[in-house]
Chains A and B, each alone.
Chain A
Amino acid sequence: MELGIFDVREWQTMVNLSTGRKVEYDSPMVRLVKKVMAQHPYPGDFEMMGNQWVTDLALELVRNYDPGFVFLSYSQPYFAIRFNPMAPEKWQALVDNALTEAQRFIEESGFIPIIVGSGDMIPVEGYMDVSGLDGLAVCSPWSAHYEGVFHPSERDLEYVKSLSGLQRLVYREEFIRELGGKPSDKDRVPDWVLVAREGFTFKGMQSSLRPLARIPAHNQFIPVYSKLGPIKTITDVSPLIEENLKTHKVALIMVEGIGVKDFTLPFTPVVNGFSWYTYEPGESQFLALTTGQHQFFNYPPGLQYWPDDNENKPYPFSGYFNHLDENALGFRYNGRSIAVGNRSMLMHATSGADIALECFARNLYNHGTMAAILREKEFKEVSRSLL
């Protein structure tokens, strides 16, 4: 059974992750995870201490669970700069802090790292309001570049073509053909995918309620620090790690909000997409990294998640995820694995790790922490810092 454990400060509970129903269960792994959670309350998405929180939790699990594969995400810089105007010095301090924490993990754990920046963030130049279309315009959660339009009219075509911030309009068939989809993908792809010019974003259903300060650039390349071998494109990361896990302990570390302009470690610029499509920070980029496969159709632009969001939706605590991708590294690796990060459900839904420890924050509200235990593996209970 896949378990979900929640810590909301001074109170914990446990559920069957796939049904959401409360369960009682005890094991060495559960005891370990509960203790780690109780001792490390989440500081909040905007707080710089959130980076330290990631490292501290990851090191606790490394000391006590001894994994071979670690997936970390330091996402605080992304949250902070997306919604808060800030001076360059302050931004630099956030970048330095996140990268310093990533390096602290590496130094103290001895893992061989691949460190990935999700891409540069740039100021918002303008908004395109698509709320008045005859068709239904839907923004994927947190997407800035893409908008899906369902059942558009002729009048809508005239309107969107007049938008100065529009880079291109991609018809459903074109989207599927150009990005290598199957005919069955048409059920998930909107009639139109609208692509914003760099710096522009959409206003429509599910676009951000909070005013935006910065949005992702069209990052054709993202920075990757690695000594494991050559990486040309984002989908090269996963197979390279899988190969090296045969002989090494490897950490895949995502540092969000940071691109080639700000990445201060030596890096290779790596292709961040396919054809005209570039990944934004989010589930598709995470899954491309962890599965080694492009992710254009599981969570396509403008995805209408709500028709499936009924009483029987699996993984009710996993947001719009209704399955865990079994191609993720944690599923493919037979050894012990962990994921830790302040990117909420993306940690367990995209890593496939045995244990995922993440913040339980939704829309930037801090509700505490969540752990997903996807499988139990034997480990030696040790008397180190916690036990």
Chain B
Amino acid sequence: MRCNYCEWRCELSGSKYGICKMYHEQDGEIQERFPYQWSTYTVSHIESFPFYHAYPGSKSLAIGTVGCNFDCQYCSNAFIAKGEPDTLLEHLFYLTPEKVVKLALQTGCHNIVFNVNEPTVSIPSLLELSRAARQEGLAMGCLTNGYTTDEATELLASAFSFFNISLKSISSDFYRKYTRAPNVEPILRNIKRLAANSHVEVVTPVVPNVNDHELLEIARFLSSANPDMVWHVFRLLPEYKMKELRYPSIEALIPVLEEARQLLPYTYFHNFVGSDWVNTECTECGTVVIERLSLGCGGDRLISFDCQDNSCPECGHRIPMLGGKIEWNQEVV
């Protein structure tokens, strides 16, 4: 029986668990092997995932499971994303969806963000969680590689209201070589599909001499999907199998990103501490309307928000934003 969650469409039967090792076939159905088993739950700033244009200033419960359907050679969470799931069980939390929501409420979180690994490997649990979260008025977001089937994309769209999709390259060659996924096309398709009806931000990690020449092409594609698309260009911190790679040059990338900003005005450049490229400027008059701090992987954070009702205080231009500013300790209603 073929799994229909991601574009690998793995054949699952008996002890065949597919690329992600998180599903199996049972009684003629594809089922999760480890439902409701989470690898972490912790409080984070929404900017730290990053989401820069969704519920700014809010407090998020960050959660994850284990497993991934990609094998990114520079993965920063390989110990959890690429480990054998059944060897990690001792480290996981069994928490019902209602309990996860309760934890979010106990910690004063305004939303829940799935960010440690790939949500596609845990879709049934996440659908259940989204139902429980909706009942308490909590929005859910996720970070995904976007390699879902059409059907699974619809399921994700029903569970999450905001997405950060990793577009690592515009080239299938890159995906084959550095993620083992055969084709970029499903990811491009899903970015367009999700951007049509949901809040989507996109992140692109820059791998020196590998995808840095593609940045303008990526910007053009994203602009075609949504000219106001929020794009996070990440300075890659190579880990896992590419640990020895040199870090991308910031100075060399800045002129390219200046050009990219002509195509996509909400282009940010970070994942390095102290970045100057994390503030939001009004695209009409240039006023800085949102200021953030980049703490590298320590998590970005908001430091000022000067656009009441998501409009520039100087010229009134609308800043694209899902939801409005939320005070950090604002009660969840």
Contact = CB atoms under 8 A, between A and B. Distances in A.
> How extensive is the interface on chain A, given as a class?
35 or more
Interface residues of B, number: 47
A210 B39 CA distance: 9
B88 A8 contact: no
Given A132-B95, A203-B91, A360 B296 contact: yes
Nearest to B271: A367
A304 B42 CA distance: 11
A367 B273 contact: yes
Interface in A349-383: 360, 362-363, 365-368, 370
A310 B295 contact: no
B301 A316 contact: yes
A316 B278 CA distance: 15
A209 interface: yes
B295 to A, nearest CB: 6
Contact of B273 (A151, A309, A368): A368
Contacts of A6: 273-274
A365 B296 contact: yes
Interface stretch (B103-111, B160-168, B215-223, B307-315): B103-111
A205 B103 contact: yes
Nearest to B247: A9
Interface string A198-226: 00000101100111000000000000000
B116 interface: yes
Interface in B235-276: 235, 237, 239, 247, 249-251, 272-274, 276
Interface string B262-306: 000000000011101000000000000000010111110111100
B258 to A, nearest CB: 16
Given A10-B249, A209-B80, A366-B237, A307 B108 contact: yes
A289 to B, nearest CB: 25
Contact of B274 (A22, A304, A307, A363): A22
Among B59, B116, B247, B304, residue most surrounded by chain A Cβ atoms (within 10 Å): B247
B171 interface: no
Interface in A253-294: none
Contacts of A205: 41-43, 103, 107
Contacts of B91: 127, 203, 211
A178 interface: no
A132 B36 CA distance: 13
Nearest to A365: B297
A10 B107 contact: no
A205 B44 CA distance: 12
Given A136-B103, A367-B273, A8 B328 contact: no
Contact of A370 (B42, B237, B273): B273
A358 to B, nearest CB: 12
Interface in A93-119: none
3 tightest A-B CB contacts, nearest first: A367-B296, A362-B298, A310-B328
Interface of B: 39-43, 45, 57, 59, 76, 79-80, 88, 90-91, 93-95, 99, 103, 106-108, 116, 235, 237, 239, 247, 249-251, 272-274, 276, 293, 295-299, 301-304, 327-329
Interface of A: 6, 8-11, 13, 15, 20-22, 127, 129, 131-132, 136, 151, 203, 205-206, 209-211, 304, 306-307, 309-311, 316-317, 319, 360, 362-363, 365-368, 370
